[in-house]
Amino acid sequence: MVSSKDVAKHAGVSQTTVSRVLNTPDLVKKPTLDKVMKAINELSYIPNAHARSLVQNKTNTISLLSGPLHNPFFVDTTSAIINYANERGYRVNVQYVNDHKLTEAYATAFENRVDGIILSCILIDDPIFDKLKQMDIPFITYNRKHKNNENFVEIDNFEAGYLSAKHLIELGHKTIAWVGGPLTVSTYNNRYCGFLQAMNDYKLPLSEQYIFNTDTSKQNITHAFQQITKLGSRPTAICAGADSLALNLIDDAIRENIIVPDDLSIIGIDNVDLSHHGLIQLTTVGSISEQNLGYLAISELIKMIENKKNYCVKITEPVKMFNRRTTRKIEIRQ
């Protein structure tokens, strides 16, 4: 592998000058610059980013710990994060973390000495948070937050849960099921609380058999759906804790010949790009902002990295309804 020393020898200058040609070309005279550039091209020299990282203590690399891509929310955010970071000159190391391999994922992220970490996989009560703060390396969580209430970008999850329940209630639904994720995750926890609040405000009875706070794997959601269909008095609507879950449930419904929304209304939360598609048209609650949470988070993270100020980011985006085609009035059905 050809190094800057080789270039220096080939051009008849010092390694220092080669370095200057690449980093501060203004400090080097035109003829020497040309000489060095010629050597660089002839040897097709490429600087070694690792060596540079070592001496500069700056890696130009960001570590992204995302949820799995079969969840369309992470499709949108991963895309936004990587594109923005690349534009700003950062490389992005990506890991798709499932909750089993959390600690392992953190370990690999840490030993790479990245400039910043952006993660969605944190739990409310995650001990990793204190470690991250100790390490004095900029980080931000998106979508989820830690109980410490620091360095996060989220939507107003409580309000989102509330609005989605309210929407179904105002359409006349009385028996509404909830299918969400684990309550150890702030996102689902707050959405669920919003849901409960709405049910309470509108004086609708709650029964445990309609409530599923489960692992969000495909199988588990499908299993929850089957439980629901087995019930004596089936709910007429389901509040899903996320668009990803809503899409899963709709798929399950179709497989059971249950027509959405005629037989069953389903509403999601997140307003993922996919939900706009003509074949989907998912009714959902999402951020009023055009920019997704990934974009907001990565732009904040890069600010933190470049300003060297460890100020604390706390962003909660307001939400609104997106009324599409997977929910309808209960009267029509009866």
Partner DNA sequence: TTGTAAAATGAATACGTAACCATTTGATGG
Partner DNA sequence: CCATCAAATGGTTACGTATTCATTTTACAA
6 binds a second copy (CB under 8 A): no
Question: Of residues 10, 13, 40, 109, which one binds DNA by CB under 7 A?
Answer: 13
247 binds a second copy (CB under 8 A): yes
Instruction: Quote the least distance from Cβ 88 to a second copy, whole Å.
Output: 12
**Helical pair 30-43 and 4-11, crossing angle rounded to 10 deg:** 120
Q: What residues from 205 to 234 belong to the interface with DNA (CB under 7 A)?
A: none
- Two tokens, residue 297: 């988070």
Of 71 and 151, which CB lies nearer to a second copy in the complex structure? 71
14 binds DNA (CB under 7 A): yes
Distances (CA, A) of 254 to 222, 262, 266: 12, 12, 12
DSSP per-residue letters across 243-293: HHHHHHHHHHHHHTT--TTTT-EEEEES--GGGGSTTT---EEEESSSS-H
Among a second copy, DNA, none, the one that 200 touches (CB under a kind-dependent 5 to 8 A) is none
280 binds a second copy (CB under 8 A): yes
The answer to whether 238 touches 178, Cβ cutoff 8 Å, is yes
Q: How many CB atoms lie within 10 A of CB 88?
A: 14
Rounded to an integer, what distance in angstroms lies between the CA atom of residue 211 and that of residue 208? Answer: 5
96 binds a second copy (CB under 8 A): yes
Specify which residues 153 forms β-bridges with: 142, 315
127 binds DNA (CB under 7 A): no
Instruction: Quote the least distance from Cβ 110 to DNA, whole Å.
Output: 11
Interacting residue ranges for a second copy, rule: CB under 8 A: 1, 44, 46-51, 53-54, 57, 59, 61, 68-70, 75, 78-79, 82-83, 86, 91-96, 108, 110-113, 131, 134, 247, 250-251, 253-255, 273-274, 277-280
